[in-house]
Structure 1
């Protein structure tokens, strides 16, 4: 029997947990003067944010771990993942550095330890992007890469 028990959803959850561990000690600026914190890590998409009440608390920094799709070919199966980082800085000249720094450090850690759990393994290529248009004073950068997924094979029965 060729039962696959771990899915792309499991992979995203494992990867998000791994990223939480990597960034837990990062202290990044928030919208509240004098308050710094580690980025919140979300899977898929952002939930409801505090945009209606800015005084309710910081909504940045955050990281999204998103599944984009997969390719299942004869020689293996891989999933495409995007990580999006959003930080806050009122420095219009250097604010872009924070999300790029977070992504670079994540990439270094993921490539140094590519087995993220179960059958899932980080693979190259990595592609990093820093959009020219930024939602100042928030700064966004993203990166995409591949993760090896379990492959399903045809079962034969008599």
Structure 2
């Protein structure tokens, strides 16, 4: 039971929580929210004239830092909206709200990982048009690693 196991479990839970949520992608079609671990996949150049598929909308389960027994996790939310009305923030915050509800209602993941503090969400207010970003920050308790040499000392 490691931080990477927590990351996998969160990816699965988030994917389940976002079932049925489709948002307009850069290609102009409705697309499911994709969930990635740590980073977006690298773009691969295509030889075809077909436009490349993007990774937006997306949630990235990012392991930020950890120590024995705790891991700080960021859920980075990224959407894209090319409409001139500059309303893309609504999609981003809708995903954030759904994930906040998931974490508050279910603070224990897979009966192993428990949220230590209340999750907080943040919105990136820099102008990154047509991209919109937010993130949720929380810390999870994970099973601690115990010293093996203590028993020999007793």
Q: TM-score, normalised by structure 1?
A: 0.84
- Per-residue CA shift, 1:41-89, capped at 9, x if unaligned? 11011111368888122331111001011233xxxx2210001111111
Aligned residue pairs: how many?
Answer: 148
Structure 2 unmatched ranges of 5 or more = none
Asked if 1:67 is matched to 2:63, the reply is yes
1:134 pairs with 118, 121, 127, which one? 127
Asked if 1:19 is matched to 2:14, the reply is yes
The answer (yes or no) to whether the contact 1:134–1:140 under 8 Å persists in 2 is: no
Asked if 1:96 is matched to 2:119, the reply is no
SS in 2 for 1:103: helix
C-alpha displacement of 1:24: 2.0
Structure 1 unmatched ranges of 5 or more = 1-5
Q: TM-score, normalised by structure 2?
A: 0.86
Change (3 A) 1:137 1:50: farther
Counterpart Cα distance in 1 of 2:124 and 2:50: 25
Q: What residue number does 1:56 align with? A: 52
Cα RMSD (Å) of the superposition? 2.0
